[in-house]
Structure 1
């Protein structure tokens, strides 16, 4: 495969992913179809199947791209020189989730179904990106506290990453959910994604010995 053809394939894949992302801004996962996506691109529905076998694979590619973007933000934090004050570090990590609503929404609402209906190679590609984000998160922890033990990093990681899977739903409840919560007396969080993430991170981070 020539460099030019590889670039064309990548451009077309990105055009499909961009169309999927745009539709997901206004439609639910189940409402978005391959036909809808094709109508937002410059080529036909059958042509999409040259790049993705299912709608779920397109969403998985979108999620992969979102994780790659988050990894870059985490790497920017890890490159900053310390020492970090605990609250400021928690805010910096939480701030990396700004603009990552699509990532959080997909994995909160639809990830299980998407993974089940995607080919193994697509899932492997996503898991690699997920793992890179995890490693970048670990690097950030090392920047905050270089002597942090691996066991402590693992405990923070295994608490924070599962937390991310429910973060979007807490920050963006539907009006129906809010009405029912009010009816039964359940207080709503009324916090942004960044606020919720910062709150969680701050409580997971160990205190530095000898002060902040």
Structure 2
């Protein structure tokens, strides 16, 4: 494939992903159809299939893009600071997540289904972006949290990243969910994305790891 063809392909894919992103701000995953995405681009639905085979594949591409944007924020934390206290680090990472609502929203979906309905090469592209996030976070811990053991750093990664998948649904309850919780007599206290992230990161950085006293 020529350089011009590669650039055109990437431009088309970016156009499709951006169209999906705009629609997802207003509609749910279930409400968005492939035709809706095509109508929001300069492509026909038939032409869209050249780049993405399913709606799930497009959303997986959007999730990949959002991870890549978060990675830029994490790299800024890593490269633009000579030193950070654990509290400062917790605040910086929490702010970076607070700014990535679209990322957290897609993360709360059924990612298994997104991957299942996507081609292998698309799943690999997404996993690379996710893997980069984890690697950058590890570099952040190496730089600013030298007192943590290798085991503690690994536990941080594999505790914090699964935690992020539940941030959006907890902090964005719709009216139906709130009424259902009231009817079920379930106590609910609202915490923001920032506060939940900050509390989790602070606890983990100060020894609050599963299985440790």
Please give the range of the TM-score, normalised by the shorter of the 2 chains.
over 0.9
Unaligned runs of 5+ in 2: 208-213
| Separation in 2, partners of 1:180, 1:13 | 40
Which residue pairs with 2:136 in the alignment? 136
* Secondary structure, aligned partner of 1:92: helix
Which residue pairs with 2:165 in the alignment? 165
Question: CA contact under 8 A between 2:86 and 2:145: conserved in structure 1?
Answer: no
Which residue pairs with 1:210 in the alignment? none
Q: How does 1:32-181 map to 2 (within 5 A)?
A: 32-181=32-181
| Separation in 2, partners of 1:189, 1:101 | 20
| Separation in 2, partners of 1:168, 1:185 | 22
* Secondary structure, aligned partner of 2:42: coil
**CA offset digits 1:124-146 (Å, max 9, x no partner):** 11101100000111111122212
- Structure 1 length as normaliser, TM-score? 0.92
| Separation in 2, partners of 1:38, 1:9 | 15
* Secondary structure, aligned partner of 2:203: helix
Unaligned runs of 5+ in 1: 208-212
| Separation in 2, partners of 1:40, 1:187 | 42
| Separation in 2, partners of 1:22, 1:81 | 33
| Separation in 1, partners of 2:94, 2:9 | 35
Once the two structures are overlaid, the 10-residue window that deviates more, 101-110 or 197-206, is 101-110
| Separation in 2, partners of 1:100, 1:84 | 22
Which residue pairs with 1:187 in the alignment? 187
| Separation in 1, partners of 2:125, 2:40 | 25
* Secondary structure, aligned partner of 2:166: helix
Question: CA contact under 8 A between 2:105 and 2:168: conserved in structure 1?
Answer: yes
Q: How big is the shift at 1:180?
A: 1.9
| Separation in 1, partners of 2:174, 2:189 | 13
Q: How big is the shift at 1:82?
A: 4.3
Q: How big is the shift at 1:147?
A: 4.3
| Separation in 2, partners of 1:150, 1:69 | 27
| Separation in 1, partners of 2:143, 2:195 | 22
| Separation in 2, partners of 1:187, 1:139 | 39
- Structure 2 length as normaliser, TM-score? 0.92
| Separation in 1, partners of 2:25, 2:77 | 28
Which residue pairs with 1:205 in the alignment? 205
| Separation in 2, partners of 1:111, 1:139 | 26
The number of residues matched between the two structures is 207
| Separation in 1, partners of 2:116, 2:161 | 20
